[in-house]
């Protein structure tokens, strides 16, 4: 088992990409910590994972609150003795036509998708440094690597806040890799393309979701939407010692996006 007895915190771990990563980590023997803002989701996901024989703990945490992230990390270290892995997955989107986007939209998205990554990494870093070991995996997005030609929310700039935050995650990954590398902590980033998750529908109607998926199929050389299991396998690579000499790297998991090639 690649993660046997490793303590893995996954933010936004009770649904979507986070839950898929948690299940994959559980298969590899990790002790799972689902850090999420929604207690009902934590309870549901914990029950689902526990029924499969995985060791699961839940922690309520608003990643935009620095005090909460520090308390979450302190509680995990006190309860479980160490923190080996952090997956910075918690994220939101508020797709709006550029001209209609508000300051509240901007602040909400950057608060969770960028500031939350910074706060959580900062919270676990002291424990990882003390151990001289750690794996931090940040979740960015293909939207953070270039402006896609397909308009989001009726505007080419409809993903301005989300794309800006996810681009920031890529650069934050590099700076944290430089900061924490001497202490045996690797920091890497996964930039997913299109996957069907709850966030896909957070700012779209069901019809818009289907249109979005059909369009994206045509922009990837594999001509299909990826599965969460495929994405979880990539996250696992960075969380495991198989990637022990890789840090500061962003790996695109997007089926070969033709608009990037």
CATH number of the domain at 180, please. 3.40.50.720
pLDDT at position 257: 85
Is 197 inside a domain boundary?
A: yes
pLDDT at position 251: 97
Q: Which residues pair with 42 in a beta bridge?
A: none
Is 26 inside a domain boundary?
A: yes
Look up the pTM and report it.
0.94
pLDDT at position 231: 97
Residue from 54, 95, 133, 162 carrying the catalytic annotation: 162
d(CA 204, CA 217): 18
User: Percent of the chain scored above 90 by pLDDT?
Assistant: 79
d(CA 191, CA 184): 23
pLDDT at position 202: 60
pLDDT at position 241: 98
Closest alpha carbon to 238 in 46, 61, 19, 25: 25
The number of folded domains in the chain is 1
Is 1 inside a domain boundary?
A: no
Q: Which segments of the chain have a pLDDT < 50?
A: none
pLDDT at position 134: 98
Instruction: Give residues with Cβ within 8 angstroms of 142, minimum separation 6.
Output: 148, 191, 192, 193, 194, 252, 254, 257, 260
Is 211 inside a domain boundary?
A: yes
Is 258 inside a domain boundary?
A: no
- 64 is in which domain, residue-wise? 7-253
Is 108 inside a domain boundary?
A: yes
Is 2 inside a domain boundary?
A: no
pLDDT at position 148: 67
Is 225 inside a domain boundary?
A: yes
The order of strands in the sheet holding 31-36 is: 55-60, 31-36, 7-11, 85-88, 134-139, 185-192, 250-253
d(CA 209, CA 12): 21
Element (H, E) at 188: strand 185-192
Active site residue 162: yes
């Amino acid at each position: 088992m690649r993660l046997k007895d490793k303590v893995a915190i996954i933010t936004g771990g009770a649904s979507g990409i986070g839950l898929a990563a948690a299940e994959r980590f559980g298969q590899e023997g990790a002790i799972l910590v689902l850090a999420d803002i929604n207690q009902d989701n934590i309870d549901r996901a914990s029950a689902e994972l526990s029924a499969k024989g995985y060791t699961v703990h839940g922690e309520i945490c608003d990643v935009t609150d620095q005090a909460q992230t520090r308390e979450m990390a302190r509680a995990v270290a006190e309860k479980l003795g160490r923190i080996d892995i952090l997956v910075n997955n918690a994220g939101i989107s508020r797709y709006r036509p550029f001209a209609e986007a508000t300051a509240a939209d901007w602040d909400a998205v950057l608060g969770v998708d960028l500031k939350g990554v910074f706060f959580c990494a900062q919270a676990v870093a002291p424990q990882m440094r003390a151990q001289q070991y750690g794996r931090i995996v940040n979740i960015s997005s293909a939207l953070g690597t270039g402006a896609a030609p397909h308009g989001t929310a009726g505007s080419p700039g409809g993903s301005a806040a989300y794309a800006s935050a996810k681009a920031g995650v890529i650069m934050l990954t590099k700076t944290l890799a430089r900061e924490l590398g001497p202490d045996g902590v690797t920091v890497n980033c996964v930039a997913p393309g299109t996957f069907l998750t709850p966030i896909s529908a957070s700012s779209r109607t069901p019809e818009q979701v289907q249109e979005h998926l059909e369009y994206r199929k045509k922009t990837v050389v594999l001509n299909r939407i990826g599965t969460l299991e495929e994405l979880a396998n990539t996250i696992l690579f960075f969380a495991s010692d198989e990637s022990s000499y890789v840090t500061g790297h962003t790996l695109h998991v997007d089926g070969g996006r033709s608009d990037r090639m």
